[in-house]
Amino acid sequence: MIVYLIRRLLQVIPTLLVISLILFGLLALKPGDPIDEMRRGNPGFTQEDYDRLREFYGLDKPWYVQYWRWLGRVLHGDFGISRQFGRPAASYIFRYRFPNTVLLSGLSLLLAFVISVPAGAISAIRQHTVFDYSVTVVNFIGVSIPIFWFGIMLIYVFAVRFRGFLPAGGLASPGVVGTWPVFVDRLRHLILPVIALSSLQLAQWTRFMRSSMLEVIKLDYIVTARAKGLSEPVILYRHALRNSILPLITLIGLNVPLLFSGAILTETVFNWPGMGRAIFDAILVNDFNVAMVSLMFISLLVLTFNLLADLAYALADPRVRYE
Amino acid sequence: MRKWGIVVGLCLCLSVAAWAGPALNTLVIGSTQEPSNLLPWEGAADTKENTMGLFNVGLTYFDSDGVLQPGLATEVPTEENGRLKLFRDADGKIVRQEVLWTIREDATWSDGRPITSDDAIFTFKVQNTPEILVTTRAFSNLVEEVRKVDSKSFWIFYKVPNLFYANVGGSIGLCRFYDIAPKHVWEPIYDAVMAAIAANPENTTEIIEGQFLGSPPSTGTGIVVGSGAFRFQEWQINQFIRFSRRGDFFIDPPGPAENYIQEITFRFIVSQPTLVSAILAGEIDASDDIGLAGMDPTILAAQLGDRGTVEVTPSGFIEKLNVNLFPECGAAADLLLGDKRTRQAIIQAIDRGDLAATVFPGATPSNSFLVGGDIGFNDALNPWPYNPEAASALLAEIGWSDVDGDGWLERVTDDGREIEFAMHWVATTADFRVRTGEILQEFFADVGIKLEVENLPGSVVFASEYISHGIDCSFRGLFEYAEAGGVGQAPADPLSNELWANDLLEDPVDAALENVPTPANSYAGVNITGWVNEEFDRLRAQALQEFDLVKRSAIVKQMQVIYNEELPTIPLYDRSETVTKAIGLVNYTKGTAAARTQFWNTWEWGWEQNGAIAVR
């Protein structure tokens, strides 16, 4: 097992190198560079300025030379400066963007889980009742409504129609000080984006949970439990629910790396500065250093979670051996 | 349990909208763009200029009437007051220029230190340091030396005479909001950077990026010092920047300063619909001149009701269709775009008034390369009214006809190929341009032209590999974007960056076309249509040497006549800017395009409810 772990960890290094090469090459293929961004809308910008700045940033060199230079810096722990914000790219992502994404996506995940499990389970137990039909209708609406539209509607109702009830977007209000006011302020700013972001997962997971529960409650061991005279709540919540929730947990586990890449639409509509928007904006405005550090981080996460999943299989299933 | 629910509910419902508005004598301004840094020498975006304008003032500034006023300077230099010296040769041509500036005695930085001529000289020194990251050296290219007279006065000696020595903007005078930087803040950083470069020259870029661009005053993480009415407080990246009023600012508003805005928050909301929601929710008191681009002011006014007003002002930019005139681009040449009658047909096929009203409410149709308010603007140009019949007649005259009756024009080329009039149109993905593409398709279909619409991200079409490669058919027909149209950059500006081909000031007539991007000049230059007109270039050179505004305007008017007849670009409309402001907010206005932005007079902004007096 340890040999296997070491072998897999060693494989991560060349894999990341290949990924970085591909990502850098793809970004280099994209037309434009940061100097083109500077030239836009600036009539005073001369050709001499353009040539000088391209040379300054080494952008006049072939992409593989630029890659080699970038790699040399990265190996020394320097991911370069965000040309969009003048700050170190890594610190910009991990200090200003990553925590916001974890907060928003984590809470959305939690909300969706806490509601979808009981809703799906009860819907299955009370199949073909008004509750079941209502949940199904709400689920279809949740799956069908585009998140950005739903987000705008939430803003319209809770920020515009009921003025000031909840903020229209952003991370926090300027000028709020003190632990409790800051906590309340952050909470207020989280309510609408969390509802919007969790709506799709909520609908999907509720349907998934309902199907899983319906399948489990028809299995033989449930019939046996009933025949043994166990009470209905014990059968449903101790035996059926625990078994039907396992596939959902697997599904959520697969979604974890996605959590870090953020939710561009929700972040944009609610002006939430997260990873998704950072990557999107960085690529759009040719902020290569930010794009590279973000994409490399997500690649590392995917590799790590793949490895963890494989190890978890071995730990959970005695038939799996990595020798 | 219920009790706790009520408590939490009440807490959540505590309004946060209180930080906007007159109650606290504060102002929250919303924008869709955020500045990249606070470095005085780097960055060119409008939002950077706005941000710097919130805590800086230039030597001069344009007021809302378009009149140049002294800011840090005691007076605007002119020949009459002896501060402008022009030296002419025997032919009367100006060969040398010197300008004397004096900074106000009471002008101080926000940390209380006096603003001196040493600051101006240091700023120029940094701008001229080859290793330092400076966005544009257009100013230092014109200037030989900045020489100290005393602690408050200095001379600027020009190597190339320039009419716009005293104007705000364009990086052609030490006069932008932020062109003078505090030496006591930046000199230690500059010295450390230069020492590090001397010790480690191969890492110049990393040193500049890390220690200069990434320095605390640049990123707003350390002491930030400005010359304006407000003091920098904090920058919550991706959220907002806060400023507070200085008690020692040297220009007073009418009445007590306490009656005017005491704190400004510049909030960044990237999504335009969310920005509008925040305005309607009362979280934003005023928008900047960028955030609401392309929005219908009538609808905004209706939504705001009695809570606010909408101001529509000229932007100084003209939305235009750049025509590919390169004969080397076969796809464009086949369509005879090089024949001016084709371009005249194109302009008459478009109802530009209707187009502007639909996609950019508040904008007005344009017929020139200068915007309407420019003092050199020629108002006697052919207005090219919507006339599809005339367009069709011109196209028929050139040889286009609907041979097969399918509704589209065809013609046979000289080498015997039968081609259809299918023209490429490209623009960015901005909403108003996506709509423009759809509308142009309909207008052109009416005269038998098939329009192939393509909307691409700005970072793609403005990449040099695209915009500068018309000769290689990167765009094969029309390329729509906006160009600065004179006002705001400098009145009667005859440079017309994108139109001239040959700089006759420096080269003989038969020299290389340095402003037309071709493989011969490594695709340098911004004349992306490839238009070459010797008379236009001759007039441009003549205008650049003419310092009499009336005479210069007359030459520029002649240039516009040529442009209006030749139409190397199809002018669509003068773009407008839409700004909202809450009821009671006074003196937050741009007026003419010359002021460039609403952010020129921060010291006068105030709430009428709190005793601020409206003077604009």
Domains assigned to chain B: 21-39+220-315+580-610 (3.40.190.10), 57-196 (3.90.76.10), 316-570 (3.10.105.10)
Q: Which residues contact B379 (CB under 8 A, 6 or more apart)?
A: B372
Q: Mark yes or no for CB contact B277/A168 under 8 Å.
A: yes
Q: Mark yes or no for CB contact B489/A42 under 8 Å.
A: no
pLDDT value at residue B173: 45
Q: How many CB atoms lie within 10 A of CB B369?
A: 27
Q: In whole angstroms, give the CA distance from residue B238 to residue A96.
A: 8
Q: Mark yes or no for CB contact B43/A38 under 8 Å.
A: yes
Note which residues in 166-185 of chain A have CB less than 8 A from chain B.
Answer: 166-176, 184-185
pLDDT value at residue B442: 97
Distance from B119 to chain A by nearest Cα, in Å?
23
CATH number of A89-316: 1.10.3720.10
pLDDT value at residue A294: 92
**A88 touches B at CB < 8 Å:** yes
Two tokens, residue A208: 């998934």
Quick one: average pLDDT of B237-258? 93
Give the number of A-B residue pairs with CB atoms closer than 8 Å.
Answer: 201
Residues of A in contact with B485 (CB under 8 A): none
Among B571, B190, B96, which residue's Cα sits nearest to residue B347?
Answer: B571
Two tokens, residue B41: 């020498």
Residues above pLDDT 90, as percent of chain A: 35
Tens of pLDDT, residue by residue over B45-66, are: 678 888 999 999 989 888 888 7
The reply to whether ipTM tops 0.85 is no
Q: Mark yes or no for CB contact A185/B269 under 8 Å.
A: no
Q: What is the pTM of this model?
A: 0.85
Residues of B in contact with A184 (CB under 8 A): 11-12, 14
Which tops the pLDDT comparison, A155 or B484? A155
Tens of pLDDT, residue by residue over B124-180, are: 898 888 777 776 666 777 788 899 999 999 999 988 787 777 764 444 345 555 578
Q: Which amino acid is at B477?
A: G
Distance from A12 to chain B by nearest Cα, in Å?
28
Tens of pLDDT, residue by residue over A119-167, are: 999 999 999 999 999 999 999 998 888 888 999 999 999 999 888 799 9
Strands (DSSP E) contained in B406-466 are 410-412, 418-420, 422-427, 450-455
Q: Mark yes or no for CB contact A172/B14 under 8 Å.
A: no
Q: In whole angstroms, give the CA distance from residue A226 to residue A222.
A: 6
- What's the mean per-residue pLDDT of chain B? 87
Cβ B598 vs Cβ B288: under 8 Å? yes
pLDDT value at residue B44: 60
Q: Mark yes or no for CB contact A50/B464 under 8 Å.
A: yes
Distance from B415 to chain A by nearest Cα, in Å?
35
Q: Mark yes or no for CB contact B239/A170 under 8 Å.
A: yes
Strands (DSSP E) contained in B440-535 are 450-455, 478-484
pLDDT value at residue B168: 45
Among B331, B615, B302, which residue's Cα sits nearest to residue B473?
Answer: B331
Q: Which site among A30, A36, A180, A280 would you substitute to test the B interface, given the most B Cβ atoms closer than 10 Å to its Cβ? A: A36
Q: Which of A52, A152, A184 sits opposite B12 (nearest CB)?
A: A184
Q: In whole angstroms, give the CA distance from residue A101 to residue B409.
A: 54
Q: Mark yes or no for CB contact B219/A52 under 8 Å.
A: no
Q: Mark yes or no for CB contact B19/A185 under 8 Å.
A: no
Q: Mark yes or no for CB contact B277/A169 under 8 Å.
A: yes
Domain spans, chain A: 89-316
Helix or strand holding residue B144 (H, E): strand B143-148
- What's the mean per-residue pLDDT of chain A? 86
Residues of A in contact with B137 (CB under 8 A): 46, 48-49, 52
Q: Which of B172, B206, B274 sits opposite A269 (nearest CB)?
A: B274
Q: Which site among A52, A54, A73, A87 would you substitute to test the B interface, given the most B Cβ atoms closer than 10 Å to its Cβ? A: A87
Tens of pLDDT, residue by residue over B547-579, are: 888 888 899 999 999 999 999 999 999 998 899
Q: Mark yes or no for CB contact B219/A86 under 8 Å.
A: yes
Among B63, B38, B163, B185, which residue's Cα sits nearest to residue B616?
Answer: B63
Residues of B in contact with A96 (CB under 8 A): 237-238
Which tops the pLDDT comparison, A29 or A14? A14
Tens of pLDDT, residue by residue over A252-265, are: 776 776 766 668 88
Q: Mark yes or no for CB contact A271/B218 under 8 Å.
A: no
Buried b (16+ CB within 10 A) or exposed e, B50-82: bbbbbbbbbbbbbbbebebbbbbbbebbeeeee
Tens of pLDDT, residue by residue over A46-84, are: 777 778 778 877 788 888 888 998 999 899 888 988 877
Q: Which residues contact B188 (CB under 8 A, 6 or more apart)?
A: none
